[in-house]
């Protein structure tokens, strides 16, 4: 089974029944037929909140499908990007998180266990204050970074704020095994996004923790009624036997609704909205749309030899903006090396051109290269 036995035993009976059905269908798919695995898990996620193990498997299957169906590197890029974005959007709504997701726009941005990503220089004090208010890992390193790169000397207020936030961080970490205390400490932070990120991240890693769900719902009743309705909808797609909570959800819909959801198994008091294209629609996209998008980015796959004819097919529309050729030889039909002039003539819109360990150039002066590339 994909799901751990310990997790299985904590599930509500009705949800557990659905999981066992899913596991049975998964086990019946022979020879790792990834399109069928992907479809099976995707359809489950349209009706029920899905456990992290299944999201991991769905992303593996999606990656394999892209590699199998699309032989052209540019189409792999185009369709792979579509698949990845769509998967990230849906998985984030199920509170799923992994290292890849965290590096995208769909990840949790203000997590307790991750330091902020600081890459700018000469940081304004208003931005520094926003970060120093958030209890996070490596806050001492963040503080040193701000002192070095602040656009002006930091006032004593900043030091006091850092010290106060560091103390709160230590309290939150110490209370991790006491859900009620942990939640209360998290709510001391005056940043709604931070609170939601950390609570939902923790829910994603322990969906069976009813106490945390209910504390979060109570918090949202006072702060964010729109988010409240979605969290209710997720709760009711996981704790299928909690009739009272479903009644509370219906009352909340009448008060704050409508509740617009992406679940296919909608309740009578919900409104369904289709948010994502089906696989069939993706496959039937107009060829013209694919041609317009596919060739903006070409990245070599470290092939030993790639024919000039194949490269011309990939670049023939003249839309290439990014071209990375890594340990690859471009050869023509006679197995002769292709000259740089031919490559540049096919890429008039080139913005980024990266060459690593290239062996197909004939001697070619810098001045001539610049003349051709301008």
Considering the domain delimited by 125-272, tell me its CATH architecture.
Alpha Horseshoe (1.25)
Q: In which element (H, E) is residue 231 found?
A: helix 225-236
**pLDDT at 89 > cutoff 70:** yes
Question: CATH 1.25.40 spans which residues of the chain?
Answer: 125-272
pLDDT of residue 70: 52
- Give the distance from CA 293 to its chain's centroid: 21
Residue whose pair of structure tokens reads 């949800």 in the numeric block: 15
Q: In which element (H, E) is residue 298 found?
A: strand 297-299
pLDDT band, residue 249 (cuts 50/70/90): very high
Tens digit of pLDDT for each residue in 327-338? Answer: 556 666 666 666
Tens digit of pLDDT for each residue in 259-278? Answer: 999 899 999 999 998 765 43
Q: Are 59 and 85 in contact (CB under 8 A)?
A: no
Distance in angstroms (rounded) separating the CA atoms of residues 48 and 268: 16
pLDDT of residue 198: 96
Q: In which element (H, E) is residue 322 found?
A: strand 322-326
pLDDT of residue 154: 81
Tens digit of pLDDT for each residue in 27-82? Answer: 999 777 888 998 999 999 999 999 999 999 988 888 777 666 555 554 444 444 44
Q: Are 88 and 104 in contact (CB under 8 A)?
A: yes
Report the percent of the chain where pLDDT is more than 90.
45
Sequence-ordered list of residues with C-beta below 8 angstroms from that of 285, at least 6 positions apart, any chain: none
Distance in angstroms (rounded) separating the CA atoms of residues 131 and 177: 26
Q: How many CB atoms lie within 10 A of CB 200?
A: 22
Q: Are 174 and 210 in contact (CB under 8 A)?
A: no
pLDDT of residue 356: 56
Poorest-pLDDT segment among 114-128, 229-243, 317-331: 317-331
Q: In which element (H, E) is residue 164 found?
A: helix 156-174
Distance in angstroms (rounded) separating the CA atoms of residues 319 and 143: 44
Q: Are 62 and 38 in contact (CB under 8 A)?
A: yes
pLDDT band, residue 103 (cuts 50/70/90): low
Sequence-ordered list of residues with C-beta below 8 angstroms from that of 216, at least 6 positions apart, any chain: 183, 199, 200, 203, 231
Most confident among 62-66, 236-240, 345-349 (mean pLDDT)? 236-240
């Amino acid at each position: 089974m994909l799901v751990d036995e310990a997790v299985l035993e904590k599930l509500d009976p009705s949800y557990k029944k659905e999981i066992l059905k899913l596991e049975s269908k998964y086990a019946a798919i022979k020879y790792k037929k990834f399109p069928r695995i992907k479809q099976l898990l995707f359809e489950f996620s349209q009706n029920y909140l899905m456990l992290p193990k299944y999201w991991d498997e769905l992303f593996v299957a999606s990656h394999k499908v892209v590699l199998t169906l699309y032989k052209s590197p540019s189409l792999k890029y185009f369709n792979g990007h579509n698949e990845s974005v769509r998967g990230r959007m849906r998985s984030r709504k199920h509170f799923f998180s992994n290292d890849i997701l965290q590096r995208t726009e769909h990840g949790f941005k203000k997590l307790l266990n991750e330091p902020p990503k600081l890459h700018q220089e000469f940081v304004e004090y208003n931005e520094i204050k926003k970060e120093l208010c958030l209890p996070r890992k490596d806050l001492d390193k963040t503080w040193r970074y701000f002192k070095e790169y602040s656009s002006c000397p930091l006032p004593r207020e900043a030091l006091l704020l850092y010290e106060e936030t560091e103390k709160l961080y230590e309290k939150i970490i110490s209370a991790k095994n006491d859900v009620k205390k942990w939640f209360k400490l998290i709510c001391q932070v005056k940043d709604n996004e931070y609170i939601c990120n950390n609570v939902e991240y923790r829910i994603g890693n322990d969906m069976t923790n009813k106490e945390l769900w209910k504390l979060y719902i109570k918090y949202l009743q006072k702060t964010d009624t729109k988010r409240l309705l979605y969290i209710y909808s997720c709760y009711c797609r996981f704790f299928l036997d909690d009739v009272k909570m479903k009644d509370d959800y219906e009352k909340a819909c009448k008060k704050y609704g409508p509740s617009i959801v992406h679940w296919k198994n909608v309740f009578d008091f919900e409104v369904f909205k289709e948010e994502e294209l089906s696989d069939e629609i993706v496959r039937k996209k107009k060829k013209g749309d694919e041609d317009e998008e596919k060739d903006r980015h070409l990245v070599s796959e470290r092939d030993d030899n790639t024919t000039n004819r194949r490269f011309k097919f990939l670049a023939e529309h003249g839309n290439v903006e990014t071209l990375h050729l890594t340990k690859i030889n471009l050869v023509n039909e006679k197995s002769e090396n292709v000259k740089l002039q031919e490559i540049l003539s096919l890429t008039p819109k080139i913005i980024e051109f990266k060459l690593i360990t290239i062996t197909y150039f004939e001697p070619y002066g810098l001045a001539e290269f610049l003349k051709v590339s301008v």
